[in-house]
Structure 1
Amino acid sequence: MPIVVVSATRSERAIFEVPAAIDVLDADRIREGQPRVNASEALAAVPGLVAQNRQNYAQDLQISSRGFGARSAFGVRGVRLIADGIPASMPDGQGQAATFNLDMADRIEVLRGPFSALYGNHSGGVIQLFTREGKGRPTVETSASAGSDGLYKVDMSAQGETAGIGYVLDASRFHTDGFRNHSAATREQAHVKMNMNVSGGGKLTLVANGLRQKDTQDPLGVTWATWQRDPRAGETDATDTAAPKRTLAERYDTRKSIDHQQAGVSWEQPIGAAKLLLTAYAGNRHVVQYQSFSRGFQAPATHSGGVVDFDRDFHGGEARWQGVLPLAGGKLTTSAGIEYGNASDDRKGYENFSGTTLGVKGRLRRDEDDSVSNIDPYIQSEWQGERWQLTAGLRHSRIRVSVADRFTSNGDDSGKLRFNATMPLAAVLYRVTPSLNLYASAARGFEAPTLNELFYSAGGAGFNFALRPARSKHVEGGVKAMLTSGARINVAVFEVRTSDELVVESSAGGRTSYRNAARTVRKGAEMSFDAALGAGLTTRIALTSLRATYENGARLPGVAHAYAFGELAWRESAGRWGAALEAVASGKVYTEDSNTERAAPGYGVLNLRLTAAQSVAEWRLSEFVRLNNLAGKQYVGSVIVGDASKRYYEGAPGRNWVAGISARYRF
């Protein structure tokens, strides 16, 4: 069946006709044989994108697209996240993939390259989640899974349609003792979605999500020697007087609590041949994080800071008009709109000790109000002829950052910043044959510093008002081909040149400061191949080659030069049984700018999943067993870029398993 996407053009288009590198993960890939805990489970199959489970639920996934976002010490940076049309990234560009509800996911679209510039402040790409809509007879479903390291997850959901109103309800609880020392986590999520048709062919959708993580442990990174000794181990605190000595994470009880909720509403209304879309959202995010200290292993009395406590209110909206007109023997589709976002933090910082007790909230050391807002008008037009397709777009971003410092005994950090950028896009697609398309595109990108990147100057000083936005030029060429009725291939080559790249200057004790590098260059190629081989067999291959360097030739840290995913899957004709073998491989990853420290070595792992399904009357049962890292490979799964104490490495699990069962009843 033709795959339809909306991320690149903001209107429904066959993916084969879009002049951009874009991949779609359907519900089966997201749900089948997966515990649905982390988006990285499914995103591994996308070329150009690297999504690492850091085995640290206090810091979220590490996601990079064409090398953008690899430096992020917390959350997702350089890639815009959107769920059901509601941004999961704040106006400054920082986002949290943990807010994605994978249990109710219908599909995920991953857009990379020049077209992502029309989504504003970021440079790498766009990851957009679409959850299912309630329809048909009511159903209820419950699922449970368990696995290595004390992992378990339970989920309950209901969906259906009553009196013209579709509804989806979901709630889940996840827990793990953690693979790494001091990495236990418990996550609770809830999701509500309602949709209804309104007069005149319109549609109204309401979405609400909640996420809660209480005292999620942060295992921190470790040195190379510690990782070699034991991939699970934490770094020992050499100044600890206890016997045996505790790890740094244990001594300071590094942890994070998150309470996040948001709601949004969208209204889509046809107006003649045009269409109007209005979206509004609001939410709150409260975070308390206990860090290890940034001044080494000195006596507690000499330390400052260490506990972050912020309460964030955010809101925003979008208005978009889209029209279609005949023009020059073809069709012209134009989208014009404006986006607005605002996030305001009541931020406090405390010492991470009281008296001689570590890991508790002590004296106040930071007290400020931080806010960031954006307003972005944009326009995008696409003309389709018989063989040619031309696209042009323009977006202007205006971002304002302000700080009101109420704790001035260590200096007044109050101030304001303004960032502006205009991002043009041009693309052309040529239909060589009905089964072969060629395309080329170019755009300018823009990446303003996030609040997290502005909070600290070098040496642990205050707000870094000297940071400038990174600006980039993207060019891409590609081929999309239908080889047979059951096989397709997409190939893209690209180059990105960036000035004032934002890079890590120092990272220690949970605090990271940034600076602007002179220039960087990214050159690469991506390929995805999907085929139905017959006899129930299918395959998918995703390959990435990326050379990301500074102007002096040094490699960008956190970025692998090659990444590959391969899968051979089988499903019995009646859908009752299934199996798949997955292979994932990555090249080595440098840990800091000079490339002189030990790089995390490349690796390759094999995973196996087995699935089964049965139907009895109105019941449908399904089961899965998943075995990861079949060979028990010991490898570094992710790195902390630029850590001042050389604790760069975050170990990945050896051989591990997870199994699950679900039962669904249709009324």
Structure 2
Amino acid sequence: MPRRLSLLPALLCVPLAAADTGLLLEPTVVSGSRSEAAGFDLPFSVDSLDRRQISEGQPGINASEVLQRVPGLVVQNRQNYAQDLQISSRGFGSRATFGVRGIKLIADGIPASTPDGQGQAATFDLDTAERIEVLRGPMATLYGSNAGGVIQLFSRDGEGPPKLSAGTAFGSDGLRKERLSAEGGTGRVGFIVDSSRLDTDGYRDHSAARREQNFAKLSLEPDDDSRLALIYSDLNQQSDDPLGLSWDAYRADPRSVAPVALQFDTRKSIDHRQLGLNYERHIGDARLQATLYAGTRRVVQYQSIPSAPQAAPGHSGGVIDFDRELHGGSLRWLQPVDALPGEFEWVIGLDYDVSEDDRQGYENFVGSQLGVKGRLRRDEIDTVTSLDPYIQANWRLGDWTLQAGLRHNRVEAEVDDHFLANGDDSGSRAYRKNTPAIGVMYAFTPELHGYVSAGKGFETPTMTELAYSPGTGGFNLGLDPSTSTQYEIGLKARLGEGTRLNAALFQIRTDDELVVASAQGGRTTYQNAARTLRQGFELGIDSQWNEHWSTSLAYTRLDATYDDDFVSNGRAVEKGNHLPGVPGTALYGELAWRPRDGIASAIEGLYRSKVYVEDSNQARAAPGYAVFNWRTRLEQNLGNWTFGQTLRIDNLFDRDYIGSVIVADGNGRYYEPAPGRNWYAGADIAYHF
């Protein structure tokens, strides 16, 4: 019988483990408990996305392709590679104007977020992903500060006879992607090497990008009791930045670009390299797990700040230029205890992470020439360090399951100012907080489980938010972390042989919420000015109706409001105003059809309600929208060869809508338009030795 294969992102054919069994009702996860367990048996909200969901009919370019099917998450593709995806989890992270903030990103045990909570989803290599786990709610706080949610990617190990794969893809707006890979494994050794290149002109004017990614993994089993993995990844990206649009500019031409983006040739380049090591050893019934990593990141970004504001003595210019060195590791001991009834395991661990930026700022003009590197205006070393011990207990006793843990968070931010012409802005601030969390589950029947969980959260300011003090410039030593208290109650059910249901109600109260104090002259300052209340409901239903048809649904209702009056950017914000960047309702649905081996097709639907763009709720909200997408995948096997074709059409009905917003933009350019009808087509080939 020919071996059945399915397309991975960017056209790699791989074995589809779940295809023969249909819906996997009890996916195994490690997020939350830190030990392998069925997600159905854990007292918190956690989802696992398998290889087929990540890859089948997907371009494999952005994590938004697959994460939108997780309730509680709002993932928006900005159509701007210079600023990355916009991701929020139950409202955490919705304020991020670039990258991912307030959500812990992890790839193969290695943080993709810096200790201050700023992360880049672009570093995720979807082409080699085995699964993605998404943890939400109180138990996420056991992953440290700035963990309003946790998104973990796990790459696959090389297995089986060696295989070579190649693919090419084309799409709307000049999109093109090429990919080449090799993988295999025998006995105690496995390998995978993957390289890809993406080019696009971008949907909007001045939004072209080129992205090159490389990934390599060597998996070893030195003996029966240990496993070792060496992982290398790099990302090299150059992208134009079209900035946001005002409402009038969007209505006139969604593809347009702010004129200042062209005047200053706004753009960004990233060169990221990272090497990591994972080691696990069984010592009796216990396990020792260790991770070490180190890397570098070079970023140069040209902004559109006008020349006049840069004349201020404390201004840092319109060009960001930094070299980052990052390193760290984790050590964890998992110990079963047979002396207690039931199944008891305690986990004790220590996480250590350091990010050091050699950061310069330059004027973005020389005389009348704009968009070039001018005089030095900032020169400093920014260092963020975290050292967090934690302890957890996992206990299953009859129909009861208990998960509890305590983490001591210590995050220190330090600035060593070398540019003394405008005074010494050096300073440091240490943040400390104990964050407990607990979850209890009861099995009413083998097919119906209910749980409650609660925890404390801790969110420090990022170095970007600490960079300026209101009115004076310099390091904002007075900025405090926000703290949250979270509660969750949920049900997990298996309905018949082919349906899984997860439902959760949650409430989050936050003190000292970080909000914008002012945004002018290219400089944004922040303040602790508000309490917030977030209440919501999540529902996820996955069904395999028969061997040919399956459906998925993810629904989120979130009411996120301020609990205090305050002033932001010169505007009064009243108690009861909605948090910006958070849709009240989000819905994803999918109907998939697999009539026989080698054919798969699906219709996807996505709905988002309106989104406020700033704290006063006075500026025009981005309207709600609904879009539909279609995808299909064909495969043919001929001896040792496998051929595949993919076709995807997004926004089938050519809807005109705002895909994401830039919260509290000081220039009123809040809106980032999404493409109209667009397509993607690819072909791939694989040879099995």
For the aligned pair, the TM-score class normalised by the smaller chain equals over 0.9
299 and 331 in structure 1: CA distance in 2 versus 1, 3 angstrom threshold: closer
* Residue from 578, 594, 604 that aligns with 1:571: 594
1:411 Cα deviation from its structure 2 partner: 2.3
**What secondary structure does 2:337 align onto?**
strand
**What secondary structure does 2:66 align onto?**
helix
CA distance in 1, matches of 2:309, 2:332: 54
| 1:87 and 2:99 matched | no
Match of 1:33 in 2: 57
CA distance in 1, matches of 2:525, 2:313: 23
Amino acid at match of 1:555: H
Match of 2:581 in 1: 558
Match of 2:553 in 1: 541
Match of 1:581 in 2: 603
Residues 219 and 254 in structure 1, CA contact (< 8 A), matched pair in contact too: yes
CA distance in 2, matches of 1:409, 1:123: 38
Match of 1:622 in 2: 644
**What secondary structure does 1:91 align onto?**
coil
* Residue from 274, 279, 303 that aligns with 2:291: 279
- State how many pairs are aligned: 654
1:73 Cα deviation from its structure 2 partner: 1.1
Deviates further, 356-365 or 501-510? 501-510
CA distance in 2, matches of 1:296, 1:109: 47
1:296 Cα deviation from its structure 2 partner: 7.5
After superposition, residues 505-520 of structure 1 pair within 5 angstroms as: 505-507=517-519, 511-520=523-532
Deviations 1:505-540 (A, max 9, x none): 344576432221220010000000000122501000
**What secondary structure does 1:24 align onto?**
strand
Match of 1:228 in 2: 251
| 1:326 and 2:348 matched | no
Residues 309 and 521 in structure 2, CA contact (< 8 A), matched pair in contact too: no
CA distance in 2, matches of 1:176, 1:513: 34
Residues 228 and 280 in structure 2, CA contact (< 8 A), matched pair in contact too: yes
* Residue from 81, 97, 104 that aligns with 1:57: 81
After superposition, residues 304-383 of structure 1 pair within 5 angstroms as: 305-383=317-395
Residues 314 and 474 in structure 2, CA contact (< 8 A), matched pair in contact too: no
CA distance in 2, matches of 1:299, 1:502: 28
Match of 2:398 in 1: 386
Match of 2:148 in 1: 124
| 1:666 and 2:666 matched | no
Deviations 1:264-315 (A, max 9, x none): 0011000001000111000000000000106789999998600000000010
1:498 Cα deviation from its structure 2 partner: 0.3
Residues 310 and 363 in structure 2, CA contact (< 8 A), matched pair in contact too: no
Match of 1:637 in 2: 659
Match of 2:277 in 1: 265
Match of 2:3 in 1: none
1:577 Cα deviation from its structure 2 partner: 1.2
**What secondary structure does 1:118 align onto?**
helix
| 1:205 and 2:229 matched | yes
Residues 117 and 123 in structure 1, CA contact (< 8 A), matched pair in contact too: yes
225 and 299 in structure 1: CA distance in 2 versus 1, 3 angstrom threshold: farther
1:611 Cα deviation from its structure 2 partner: 1.2
Deviations 1:416-439 (A, max 9, x none): 100001000111000000000000
Deviations 1:69-105 (A, max 9, x none): 0111111101100001111111111110000000011
Residues 289 and 309 in structure 1, CA contact (< 8 A), matched pair in contact too: yes
386 and 299 in structure 1: CA distance in 2 versus 1, 3 angstrom threshold: closer
Match of 1:495 in 2: 507
Q: Which runs of 5+ in 2 are unaligned?
A: 1-23, 564-574
1:6 Cα deviation from its structure 2 partner: 0.4
CA distance in 1, matches of 2:422, 2:265: 26
Deviations 1:29-66 (A, max 9, x none): 11111111100011110100011110110011010000
Amino acid at match of 1:194: L
Deviates further, 39-48 or 159-168? 159-168
**What secondary structure does 2:170 align onto?**
strand
**What secondary structure does 1:137 align onto?**
strand
Residues 293 and 508 in structure 1, CA contact (< 8 A), matched pair in contact too: no
CA distance in 1, matches of 2:38, 2:582: 31
Match of 2:102 in 1: 78
Residues 303 and 351 in structure 1, CA contact (< 8 A), matched pair in contact too: no
* Residue from 628, 648, 651 that aligns with 2:670: 648
**What secondary structure does 1:226 align onto?**
helix
Amino acid at match of 1:577: I
**What secondary structure does 2:545 align onto?**
strand
Amino acid at match of 2:175: L
CA distance in 2, matches of 1:454, 1:258: 22
Amino acid at match of 2:661: V
Residues 142 and 157 in structure 1, CA contact (< 8 A), matched pair in contact too: yes
Residues 188 and 222 in structure 2, CA contact (< 8 A), matched pair in contact too: no
CA distance in 1, matches of 2:475, 2:684: 49
* Residue from 447, 457, 468 that aligns with 1:445: 457
* Residue from 242, 260, 263 that aligns with 1:219: 242
CA distance in 1, matches of 2:389, 2:547: 51
Match of 1:601 in 2: 623
CA distance in 2, matches of 1:99, 1:8: 22
**What secondary structure does 1:534 align onto?**
coil
| 1:407 and 2:419 matched | yes
**What secondary structure does 1:572 align onto?**
strand
Amino acid at match of 1:579: S
Amino acid at match of 1:567: E
304 and 269 in structure 1: CA distance in 2 versus 1, 3 angstrom threshold: closer
Match of 1:242 in 2: none
Residues 504 and 641 in structure 1, CA contact (< 8 A), matched pair in contact too: no
Q: Which runs of 5+ in 1 are unaligned?
A: 236-246
Match of 2:184 in 1: 160
CA distance in 1, matches of 2:521, 2:497: 55
Match of 1:244 in 2: none
**What secondary structure does 1:149 align onto?**
helix
Deviations 1:212-238 (A, max 9, x none): 013x10000111000011111112xxx
CA distance in 2, matches of 1:508, 1:633: 34
